Structure 1
Amino acid sequence: MDVYACDPAQARPRRVAEEESAFRSCFQRDRDRIIHSSAFRRLKHKTQVFVEHEGDFYRTRLTHSIEVAQVARTIANALGLNTDLTEAVALAHDLGHTPFGHTGEDALHLLMAPYGGFDHNAQTLRIVTSLERHYAEFDGLNLTWDTLEGIAKHNGPLLPLAPGKALPLALAEYNAHHDLELDTHASGEAQVAALADDVAYNNHDLQDGLRAGLFTEAEIADLPLIAPAYAEVDRLYPGLEPIRRRHEALRRVFGYMVSDVIDTSRARITAAAPASADAIRRLGHPVIAFSDPMWRDLKQIREFLFTRMYRAPSVVVIREKVTTALLELFPLYMADPSLLPERWQAAEAAREGEVPLARLVADYVAGMTDRYALQQHARLTGKDILHDRA
């Protein structure tokens, strides 16, 4: 590792002191606790774009997180950063997502607007610091400061706030007791996890959209990055069968993005010459980035995907239905907390007031898988909302 990498021997303390492992570094231990958490397992049945019942081949939050971690390790290793911390942040980055992806998050944010709103990144922090309750000596996973910092601000500093903005409540509450230095950038490792997320979803959304028939290869043929990838495959493997041709082309698109991040970031690190991990945090700008030409190319691809995939008529119909399911579920639990499972009822009994109840209900609903949310909606309302049956 280089001098600007996060060194596990120099990691800042966990909030609750505990004896470290004799066989694993503190960052490896963080990664392992994330993998073994209940929230991580539930990602198996939380979707990216498609609802879980629509097919076994589409990405879920779990497969996406694994792909992000693989990309992140590759980039971190190439740049001399700590791969274990990078992987821990990458694996944790989506733990706070609701059922039904960003559609579910939008619905919960609307429902929670009177109570401080809802933000999936803050919810991830809430999960790993409080909601996972398996250990005898602490709530949450008791991760290192470095991993928590990466989870909180891998997309950049959160302070100072823009006019009219407020920190997500869960993040503000935690930071008041354990300062994550929200006014600086995160470590290089966390920055890598953020860019690896972009690489992974740009690649797999193209794959999933093609598989779903939302667009064809002919319709993406003129998009940047994609055209040269198909041209190279056709030159090397003329007459290749369609499925192999598609895979070979899209893996090249994937490679273009990874190589660009490595080359651009290496140059930025060299120019900045950071002497420590903290020096990266205090540079005032990220060191992990795409090149400007790559950003422009990816912007075109994302604009295409927004129109043809995320706002495709068939996807919009399902988005509307699952939004209705969450909008109807939340007030049922608010009106009658006895509908919650016994463990959650016990937590509700220990709270006072409407805001804590709303937070409790949001925690419960946000933790649901796609399938479980639809099952609970059907059980409590008597409606099969996906098939318009009462």
Structure 2
Amino acid sequence: MSDTRSNPGAPFADALSASPDAGLAPYAAHASQSRGRRHAEAPPAARSEFQRDRDRIVHSTAFRRLEYKTQVFVNHEGDLFRTRLTHSLEVAQIARSVARQLRVNEDLVEAISLAHDLGHTPFGHAGQDALNECMGEHGGFEHNLQSLAVVDELEEHYGAFDGLNLCFETREGILKHCSRENARRLGELGERFLLGRQPSIEAQIANIADEIAYNNHDVDDGLRSGLLTIEQLAEVELWQTHYEAARAEYPQIDGRRLIHETVRRIINTLIVDLIGQTSRNLAEHAPRSLDEVRAAPPLVAHSERVAAQAAALKRFLYRNLYRHYRVMRMANKARRVVKGLFDAFTDDPRLLPPAYQMHDETTQPRQIAHYIAGMTDRYALKEYRRLFVVADDV
């Protein structure tokens, strides 16, 4: 046995020299076997390639902006509602829990989770829909492709390259959906959409963790806002089962504490079921490498019963929260703001900051989309007032 007392730094040095892939399952994404980055870089000294990706995402400007971007409720509507930032953190926490149990790469699944919404517009899906409509004649707008554009091109942190220069596997996980036309344009990254192949287990985990987070936390925010009621939720089996169990075990609690206890139980049920069913899928298909994961059907999934319950909750939220008249009013306002900004900048690009003014008319609309997509809710509203409201205090 070596004596580390004469070299107190030895344990730290040993930790750094240990393989970042130690303990991972053969079907996991191994940092040492990454397909690499668009621009070659020296390997990191004290972290894995996927840790480097996660760190770059956390330090990016786009990640900080998520603090002031809508999840369901616009930022100024209340301090306690989720934002894109808190949502992304919640997705990462759920995804890491699942990844650890399945022995896949926690650093990669966290990087994907933290980056998956970097390209979201202000005002949530209403803003995205409006910008997609504005860009209809210019290739459209889709927030997954925009997230990829952020990490590939738009971030300006490094002297040697545009973007964050992330690993292929991280970029692949960010791109959840893609049309065949865009897939062809993306080359190797879009190949799986053309061939019907799957992304990594880590990307599949991040995708479902996203749904677990937003469905359940939108319930919490909907109840907090008063747009949903406990009585309405009684029709949702997944909610009612855990609500009654929480009341039975803790008859002394009510209000917010009871809601939190119910949501906590639902999330736990979904995570445990996801781990169990995915483990069974992995045992059935027995992938021995990441390449075999790509060739298999989707492996990360809920059981049929729990998947049906989660789908019923999602349908309930669509009918009762996302289509609530108060949410629709804000969505209508958001569409007017986004369309107004796009039209104003299209009519006179000189209104744009110089970095977004193009001499080529064919590339100008995409630059306008980049500018608007990067705005926070409050910045978009401020820009709209600057352009359209005549007042001394603007």
TM-score, length-normalised on structure 1? 0.91
Q: Contact 2:135 / 2:141 at 8 angstroms: preserved in 1?
A: yes
Comparing 306-315 with 226-235, which one deviates more in the overlay? Answer: 226-235
One of 344, 369, 385 as aligned partner of 1:378: 385
Tell whether 2:45 aligns with 1:33. Answer: no
Structure 2 residues not aligned, in runs of 5+: 1-23
AA paired with 1:135? Y
CA distance in 1, matches of 2:371, 2:128: 13
d(CA) in 2 for partners of 1:215, 1:40 = 30
CA RMSD after TM alignment: 1.7
Range that drifts further, 45-54 or 179-188:
179-188
Identity, in percent, stands at 45
User: What is residue 341 of structure 1 aligned with on the other side?
Assistant: 353
Maintained 8 Å contact 1:15/1:178: no
Contact 1:11 1:146 in 2 (8 A): yes
Which residue among 105, 130, 135 is the counterpart of 2:153? 130
Check if 1:369 corresponds to 2:376: yes
Letter in structure 2 aligned against 1:197:
D
Of the three residues 286, 291, 297, the one matched with 1:278 is 291
Q: Which moved more, 1:336-345 or 1:317-326?
A: 336-345
Q: Distance in 2 between matches of 1:150 and 1:296?
A: 25
The CA distance in 2 between the partners of 1:13 and 1:30, in whole Å, is: 11
**Structure 2 CA distance for aligned equivalents of residues 301 and 18 of structure 1:** 45
Q: CA deviation at 1:239?
A: 2.2
Deviations 1:248-292 (A, max 9, x none): 111001111111111110100110100001110111x11001111
Deviating 4+ runs (over 2 angstroms): 176-183, 342-345
Q: Does the 8 Å contact 1:145/1:180 carry over to 2?
A: no
Where does residue 21 of structure 1 map in the other structure? 44
1:90 aligned residue (90, 107, 113):
113
Number of residue equivalences: 367
CA contact (8 A) 2:184 2:190 kept: no
| SS, match of residue 225 in structure 1 | helix
Cα distance in structure 1, aligned partners of 2:240 and 2:88: 28
If you compute each CA radius of gyration, which structure gives the higher value, 1 or 2? 2
- Separation (CA, whole Å) in 2 of partners of 1:49 and 1:235: 31
Tell me the alpha carbon deviations over residues 289-332 of structure 1, each in whole angstroms, 9 at most, x when there is no partner.
11111121112111211111101011111111111111111011
Shift of 1:221: 2.2
In the TM superposition, residue 342 of structure 1 has moved relative to its aligned partner by 2.7
Between the aligned partners of 1:120 and 1:131, the Cα distance in structure 2 is: 14
Paired residues of 2:96 and 2:110 also in contact (CA < 8 A): yes
State whether structure 2 residue 311 is matched by structure 1 residue 288: no
Letter paired with 1:368:
M
Structure 1: gaps spanning 5 or more residues:
385-389
* Amino acid paired to 1:310: Y
SS in structure 2 opposite 1:49? coil
Q: Distance in 1 between the 2:168 and 2:325 partners?
A: 44
* Letter of the structure 2 residue corresponding to residue 55 of structure 1: G
Matches within 5 A, 1:3-152: 3-152=26-175
Note if contact 1:148-1:180 (Cα within 8 Å) is conserved in structure 2: no
CA positional deviation for 1:344: 2.4
- The residue that corresponds to 2:272 in the other structure is 259
SS in 2 for 1:244: helix
Distance (whole Å) between structure 1 residues aligned to residue 68 and residue 221 of structure 2: 16
Distance (Å, rounded) in 2 between the aligned partners of 1:227 and 1:295: 16
Q: Does 1:233 align with 2:240?
A: no
Q: 1:383 to 1:248 in 2, by over 3 A?
A: farther
In structure 1, what is the equivalent of residue 10 of structure 2?
A: none
Matched, 1:318 2:330: yes
* Displacement of 1:372: 0.4
